[in-house]
Structure 1
Amino acid sequence: MLTYLSKGAEEEEVGRYYYGNLEEASDKLKLRNCLAQLWNCDETGEWRYQQRGITPRGMPDNIQRFTARKNASILGCINAAGGHMSSMHIFAGQRQKVEWMEDAPPDAIVAWVDL
């Protein structure tokens, strides 16, 4: 797949290539009826707000604090049949701010953890 992507294929072609391979593999491995049970989950960190700082000339002045309560992890899951679970947004700390979720999908799940 990576070789195919590096050749500059269009997104639609890449999608068709991927799903063609998935279809072939699911038939070969007799997983056709199990695709909705094959899940892939991915977590990513998000820092929505950056602080400005004084830095030497030519150096970016955006500073991210990794201990700030504004930090979040987002967990997204999708299955091989194209279904998905609601995204889970996990914030550090116990204080909640409504604006942290203003751009989230309506079915998003929210959790807070105390560090």
Structure 2
Amino acid sequence: MKSLPDDPAAEENPIALLEEISVVKSRYKLLCMQLEQIYIEQRESVKAIRAALGDTVKVVQCSPLSEEEQTAAQQLTCQTAEEMESLAEEVGFASDCSQFEVAQKC
């Protein structure tokens, strides 16, 4: 039977490697939980922003606007939706922890 040296380096000590793997696994689980919480909060924020934007668009649509103003309002709505989608894509990526949604295009 082969015996281990008295003070082996961590790379040579299987017990130390197993302990390191356990620590990495714990950190990974913690990061996954934090990422999930961030995703939930980001999704709620996007939902609130979309609701506010929708209300604003309704108010703008009910107001008598010139054709030029209506075109500008439509462009702003599409541009804002595209920016929100871009944000959602940056934050809402897929990971081993969970699957994230991607916003729809305008």
Going by fraction, where is strand more abundant, 1 or 2?
A: 1
Bin of the TM-score, shorter chain as denominator length: under 0.3
Larger Rg: 2
TM-score, length-scaled by structure 2:
0.25
